[in-house]
């Protein structure tokens, strides 16, 4: 008699992107067990229809099975939080943290200004991230309107509840923080990445971060004023360590699941004299 081995449950990537009047409005994704596909899809669609902003007029939801052999497991980056006095100090702190990660100060400052001015054509917010040469500051992404969109990453389904509870206990419970941490974790593990700068284009969300592999995910309490629609992401790339094709293939295609938290430090006041 042949007894078949129990198969590991299939994993699915569930992706949502929503637009309003032809403009990108929201995007999010999850990687879940087969049994959670319907719940995850409806939660993502509900987010696009959220009454706190204008509901989307077009929503695309895509569900794809993932081969479990493709999955790479990692630990989330360490998390620290800097409280700044205002957004101006926050932007100086961001440039300082980028310089600390090895980016020349003028390139770091230029990246901060780029997000403030709008990195897309005509100063629009991009749908994805800018790729910036860490040594020269040159833009490397093929499409300056779309940029590069990082995809196919999430928490391991079995550990999600534990990690969410832990983040909640450190007052980091909002799904926005965990999603950004997961994204930053994947970005930092990509070939040739030196650092990342991010703040949201959501006018009500003013906290952003700088991430690098030495110091992890460093939140900065204010990187813009409430009401400011600017935002975006810049990934700084060391071209001596990767090619654009290899990097983009990793960011878009490689499946990364995070199974544990890094160290989470309590918030501290930003005190660098070298602002």
Specify burial of residue 145 (Cβ count, 10 A radius: 0-12, 13-18, 19+).
middle
Numbers of helices and strands, H then E, in the chain: 6, 13
Q: Provide, rounded to whole angstroms, the least separation between the CB of residue 178 and ligand AMP.
A: 12
**33, 201, 228, 238: residue in contact with ligand AMP (rule CB under 6 A):** 201
Q: Provide, rounded to whole angstroms, the least separation between the CB of residue 271 and ligand AMP.
A: 27
Question: Which region among 41-49, 51-59, 73-81, 195-203 touches ligand AMP (by CB under 6 A)?
Answer: 195-203
CA atoms within 13 A on the CB side of 138: 7
Count of residues touching ligand AMP (by CB under 6 A)? 17
Q: Provide, rounded to whole angstroms, the least separation between the CB of residue 251 and ligand AMP.
A: 7
> Shortest CA distance to 52 belongs to which of 262, 199, 203, 182?
203
Q: How far is C-alpha 97 from the chain's CA centre? A: 17
CA gap 8, 158 in Å, rounded? 13
CA 88, 150, 28, 164 torsion-angle sign: negative
Question: Which region among 41-49, 66-74, 199-207, 212-220 touches ligand AMP (by CB under 6 A)?
Answer: 199-207
The residue among 97 and 150 lying less far from ligand AMP, judged by its C-beta, is: 150
The residue among 34 and 58 lying less far from ligand AMP, judged by its C-beta, is: 58
Site residues (CB under 6 A) for ligand AMP, limited to 99-158: 125-129, 149-150
Q: Provide, rounded to whole angstroms, the least separation between the CB of residue 3 and ligand AMP.
A: 43
CA gap 31, 52 in Å, rounded? 25
φ, ψ at 236 (rounded to 5°): -90, 130
**41, 91, 233, 264: residue in contact with ligand AMP (rule CB under 6 A):** 233
Residues contributing to the site for ligand AMP (CB under 6 A): 27, 125-129, 149-150, 180, 183, 198, 200-202, 231-233
């Amino acid at each position: 008699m042949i007894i078949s081995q129990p198969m590991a449950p299939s994993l699915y990537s569930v992706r949502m992107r929503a637009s309003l009047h032809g403009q990108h409005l929201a995007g999010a994704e999850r990687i879940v067990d087969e049994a959670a596909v319907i719940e995850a899809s409806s939660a993502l669609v509900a987010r696009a229809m959220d009454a706190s902003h204008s509901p989307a007029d077009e929503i695309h939801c895509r569900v794809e099975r993932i081969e479990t052999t493709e999955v790479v497991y990692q630990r989330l980056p360490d998390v620290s939080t800097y409280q700044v006095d205002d957004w101006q100090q926050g932007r100086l702190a961001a440039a300082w943290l980028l310089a600390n990660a090895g980016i020349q100060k003028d390139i770091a400052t230029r990246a901060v200004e780029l997000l403030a001015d709008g990195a897309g054509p005509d100063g629009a917010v991009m749908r994805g991230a800018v790729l910036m040469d860490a040594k020269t500051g040159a833009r490397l992404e093929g499409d300056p309107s779309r940029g590069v969109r990082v995809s196919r990453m999430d928490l391991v389904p079995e550990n999600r509840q534990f990690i969410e509870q832990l983040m909640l206990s450190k007052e980091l419970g909002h799904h926005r923080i965990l999603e950004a941490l997961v994204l930053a974790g994947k970005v930092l593990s990509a070939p040739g990445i030196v650092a990342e700068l991010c703040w949201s284009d959501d006018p009500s969300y003013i906290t952003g971060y700088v991430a690098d592999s030495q110091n992890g995910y460093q939140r900065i309490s204010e990187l813009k004023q409430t009401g400011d629609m600017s935002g975006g992401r810049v990934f700084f790339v060391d071209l001596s360590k990767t090619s654009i094709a290899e990097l983009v293939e990793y960011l878009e295609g490689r499946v990364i699941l995070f199974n544990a938290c890094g160290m989470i430090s309590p918030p501290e006041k930003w005190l660098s004299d070298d602002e």
